[in-house]
Amino acid sequence: MYSNRKLKHLLLWSMLAGNLAVIHAQDRNIQGKVRDAVTGEVLGNVTINVKGSKQSLQTKADGSFILPTNPNAILVITSTGYKPQEVKVGQAESLEIKLESSNQQIDEVVVVGYGKMKKSNLTGSVSRLDKKVLETGVRSNPASALAGTIPGIRVQQTSGRPGAVPSVTLRGGTTYAGGGNPLVIVDGLIRSGFNDINQNDIESIDVLKDASATAIYGARAANGVVLITTKKGKEGVSNVTLQSKVGINTLNSPFKFLNARDYINWSRKGVQLSGQYQPSQLDQLTKVLPFGTGNLYKDANGNILDGNVTSNAVWSTMFLDDTNRELLQQGWQTMIDPVTGKELIFKDFDYADYALRDFSLTQDYNIAVQGGNDKGKYYGSVGKYNEKGMPISSFYDRTTFVLNGDYKIKPWLQSFSGVNFAYTKWRDAINGEGNYMTRALGAPPTMRGVNANGELLVGKDWQDGNPVVNDDKFIRKNINQKLTLSQAFTVNFLENLSLRVSGNWFFNQSTAESFNKDYLASPGNYVRTRNSSASYDKIYNQTYNAVLNYNTNIREDHHIDAMIGWEFFDAYNNGFSASGTGAPTDDFMDLGLTSPEANKRAIDSYHDRQRITSYFGRVNYDYKEKYLMTLTARRDGYSTLLNNRWGTFPGISLGWALHKEDFLKDYLGADHTVNSLKLRASYGANGNVSGIGSYTLQGSYGTSKYDGQVGYTMSTLSIPNLKWESLMTKEVGLETRLFNKLDLTVAYYHRTTKDKIANLTLPASAGFTTITTNNGDMQNQGVEVDLNYQLLRKSNWDVNVSWNTAYNKNKILKLPYNGVENNRQGGLQVYDSKTKELIWVGGFQEGQDPNVAYAYEATGIIRTQQDLDNYALQLKDLIGARTLVHPDVFNALPADQKGLYYPLALGDVMWKDVNGDGIINSYDRVYMGNTVPKWTGGFGLSVRWKDLSLNSRFDYALGYVAYDGPRAWFLGMMQGTFNTTTDVFNTWTPENPNAQYPSYYWADQLFKNNTSRESSMFYNKGNYLAFRELTLGYRLPKTLANKIKMEDLNVSLTGQNLHYWTKNTLFSAESGSVGQGGGGYPLPRTFILGLQLTF
């Protein structure tokens, strides 16, 4: 009995000891560090899972981890861009894990509509922005980061104004003019654009391009889809990141203007030349003008005149005499008048010194917190972006707040919440940015600047004068507030069956207040109307959807990932505006204080609503990840349409991963030259009703007055049968990896837009000019190439090269029948250079590219009498302000007819007479080129040596022309008093017979139209190569960072918009043609110092 009891005790203690041993083994902590196998660099945020359990964590920034586990456990280590690795713990107390780089282009996970997919399994056309692009530079709008980084996307940054919105077009757009903005979706919510998004909060940007990928978004995705995912919390991570970027902006203008001495010289000679044809114009030389001599310093009584009181004292140009000789002691200058030979006195004054800042600052600050565990994760940030413009008082200021979190309520129920708030205020240049910059840079340099009291002069008037004088008189307050709330729940019914329901609410409110105090409009003329206005616009969007996901494997080899969903979208907009005049004082801008008299106040309001109901689904199938197929369909119902509200948009795509075929294993695979090779093809449909307002198709009525009575008349016709535009896209592509270094993607696409919404011109008897109908088909087709090459990867070195390019061509296939050739709309007639017969070109025509330019061709300048005789003896030029003829022909005219003609002269332009009939008229215009680039793309170089990095980025556009109207305007002195560019030094004179440009006339449009007619002289190749960005960075070694209680420290120096290599001479090389008198706001050159600290 005792022995049995003893044996039981022994067994009990043995079992207890065994359990304690197991418990002890499970409680043992294993520590380690994860590094790059080649460079030895520590890797943070690497996921480590214990195989067969839910135990998981992520490595710290220094690559270290501590994990409680047992010797028999197997660790599964995964990280984006590296091959997965399994490590058995064993008896080791510390592990040194080295990860090998994988084919990141194939293994990365990209965002697609309502889900994610591994890129290797994609069969549609989806591109992802390299995240490094968002980590450098300063941007008020993240869209600018897409320039030259993704094939097929053209980003035009045509304005340097703070907060300016770039134009984004995918694959040539869907409009005849080559436009159409892609659909922007942020964390599942449709947004109007990028401009309220803090680039520091962006985790990824994915672009869906072909219809098989975009069909899941149906009618709103005709121009492609940009999916932006903001940052979320990460399990096993807890850190705080501080970011600071401060940039200095400098003006980057291609125009160089004359100083006062040269301005007076050329202006007076230009007037003298024009006066040969209209002697009355010689009066300009003695008038009160910037170059005239009618300006006064003192009145008849010897009192110094004030340029803010009388226009006689605005400009400095005068003949030197005893009344003004004392000004020489104040720094005024003298010169000999090229017209009279007398001595002139003048002062050199630069408006830009007052109207523009020498440089401006851009500041971007951000603080973010991130963390999480197996129960929940969070990410929060506060950002502050402030950019000062080059024009005084202009700025763009934005504050953002983001909070994203998810929480596992139950093992089968998870909650996802998000808050995104942006508060923006700004002030633009008064009188519009283009006018402001043109006038600030090109203003006459002979203004006196200040009066005898040292007060700044307003100049000619408040628009063309010195804006500083009235800067505090124009009150402008613009504020925009955007709030996004999102809430989603995921219910996991089974391991492979889940339901996600979500709601998104978007509030957008803009307010604008304007008030003009009493201001000096021109010398001696005050405007005291005190105009006041206020307005607000509100947008409230709601999106609700439910998506059921099912994922399963059949016999291990067949994988199916399916989803079906429903979505409801509601957009309600309303606005209010009011204005008034006659406020009693400058101290209050309230509308209630404006005059209550009749016609002194105005009020208006509006509202509209759109609703969309959608049903959609997608099935992804693959066999051993070798044969791939995706089926997509969406059905949308749109409230804006009347009798044709519903549209169905299907898509199908197929893929074949050849490198996984057994019969090709001797030729393709990891150990061969061709590591991977995938072929794909797709076909899909989208719809489009962009540009159709909420109530456009219902028709509208307006008020009118007849015989003193007010009544209602129809303003627009009802169009109940208008239907969707249908876009069908076919695409084939190839994706491959070579030498384990080079990733290459090539794609060809063909898109046809049918039932294009177009305006049909009606006869005058109809009472309406046009009606909107479904007539017109258009075609886009092109090729895209994307290449990434890992040139070098060693322990201390990393060198990568990227390049992409895209070719696109648009053509009109069908237009509304109108009885003319090719159903042409618009256009012009010109002579065919071969047949000499008249043909129609330009405008919109079936079978032709809609974006072409025609202009007069300058064949040269009349440099000698021989040139003049050969060109003009038998010629009449009808494009001048009067008919232009040879001087002998002019002299032979009767006196009563000479007023209809001007004689040609040396220095005038010779024009191409296309049909040789001796007459230059509008039919003699010739083809200049395409106005939309055929080729777009970019390339970059990334170099890392130890902890130093150098990254550069370039983008380009090729195959188009651009008209430089501003330069023609300046060289034609078309405004009459403005300055001109230094190109005037290269105009024809007897002393400079080989000049590039014709003679410099005052108001050329009134005489020969040498520069004012649109011609080849000012059409340039628009091709450009932009040196977009160069960043030098230094990352403090982890060991040193840890010693100062940091996880990471990065310092960078970036140059942005550094240079354009181009023959395009516009303010912005990315602009298309700009008309005469237009201007622009050059994109500033920016130098940025960046600092990032992570704790």
pTM: 0.87
Query: What are the C-alpha distances in Å from 523 to residues 221, 555, 1065?
Result: 55, 89, 35
Closest Cα partner for 148 from 933, 741, 677, 930? 933
86 SS3 class: strand
pLDDT tens digits along 18-75: 443 444 444 578 888 898 876 777 888 788 888 877 677 888 877 888 888 888 888 8
Q: Is the pLDDT of residue 735 over 80?
A: yes
Dist CA 705 CA 348 (whole Å) = 56
* Residue that the structure tokens 């060198």 belong to: 799
Query: What are the C-alpha distances in Å from 458 to residues 351, 355, 447, 455, 953?
Result: 11, 12, 10, 9, 44
Closest Cα partner for 379 from 561, 198, 196? 198
375 SS3 class: coil
Dist CA 763 CA 1014 (whole Å) = 32
* Domain ranges for the chain: 25-97, 852-930
* Residue that the structure tokens 């047992």 belong to: 70
pLDDT of residue 175: 81
pLDDT of residue 253: 84
Dist CA 1027 CA 147 (whole Å) = 11
pLDDT of residue 938: 97
1001 SS3 class: coil
As to burial, measured by CB atoms within 10 angstroms (0-12 exposed, 13-18 middle, 19+ buried), residue 691 is: exposed
* Residue that the structure tokens 């993704």 belong to: 150
Dist CA 334 CA 266 (whole Å) = 15
Give the residue, 1087 or 773, on which the prediction is more confident: 1087
Contact of 772 with 708, CB cutoff 8 Å: no
pLDDT above 70 as % of the chain = 96
pLDDT of residue 194: 85
pLDDT tens digits along 977-1029: 899 999 999 999 999 999 999 999 999 999 999 999 999 999 999 999 999 99
pLDDT of residue 14: 44
Beta strands in 796-896 (DSSP E): 797-814, 828-831, 838-841, 852-856, 858-861, 876-877, 883-885
Average of pLDDT values for 858-880?
95
pLDDT tens digits along 762-790: 776 777 777 788 878 999 999 999 999 99
Average of pLDDT values for 832-836?
92
pLDDT of residue 821: 86
Average of pLDDT values for 471-484?
94
pLDDT of residue 723: 87
pLDDT tens digits along 443-467: 899 999 999 899 999 999 988 888 8
Tokens of 1037: 């070694």
Which pLDDT band, with edges at 50, 70 and 90, does 923 fall under?
very high
pLDDT tens digits along 790-817: 999 887 889 999 999 999 999 999 888 7
pLDDT of residue 24: 41
Average of pLDDT values for 402-428?
95
H/E element, 866 = helix 865-872
pLDDT of residue 25: 44
**Secondary structure of 171-200 in the HEC alphabet?**
CCCCCCCCCCCCEEEECCEEECCCCCCCHH
- Region of 1089 (left: φ > 0; alpha: ψ -120 to 50; beta: rest) is beta
pLDDT of residue 486: 95
Average of pLDDT values for 309-330?
96
Dist CA 827 CA 449 (whole Å) = 48
pLDDT of residue 103: 54
pLDDT of residue 6: 47
Tokens of 414: 């998870």
Closest Cα partner for 390 from 1077, 1091, 952, 1079? 1079
Dist CA 857 CA 491 (whole Å) = 70
Q: Is the pLDDT of residue 894 over 50?
A: yes
pLDDT tens digits along 709-720: 777 777 778 888
H/E element, 5 = helix 2-27
Q: Please report the DSSP string for 1047-1080 in residue order.
A: SEEEEEEEEEEEEEEES--SSSTT---B-TT---
Which segment of 89-103, 192-206, 251-265, 389-403 scores lowest on mean pLDDT?
A: 89-103
Give the pairing type, strands 519-522 and 525-527.
antiparallel
CATH label, 25-97, candidates 3.10.450.630, 2.60.40.1120, 2.130.10.10, 1.20.1430.10 = 2.60.40.1120
Q: Is the pLDDT of residue 550 over 80?
A: yes
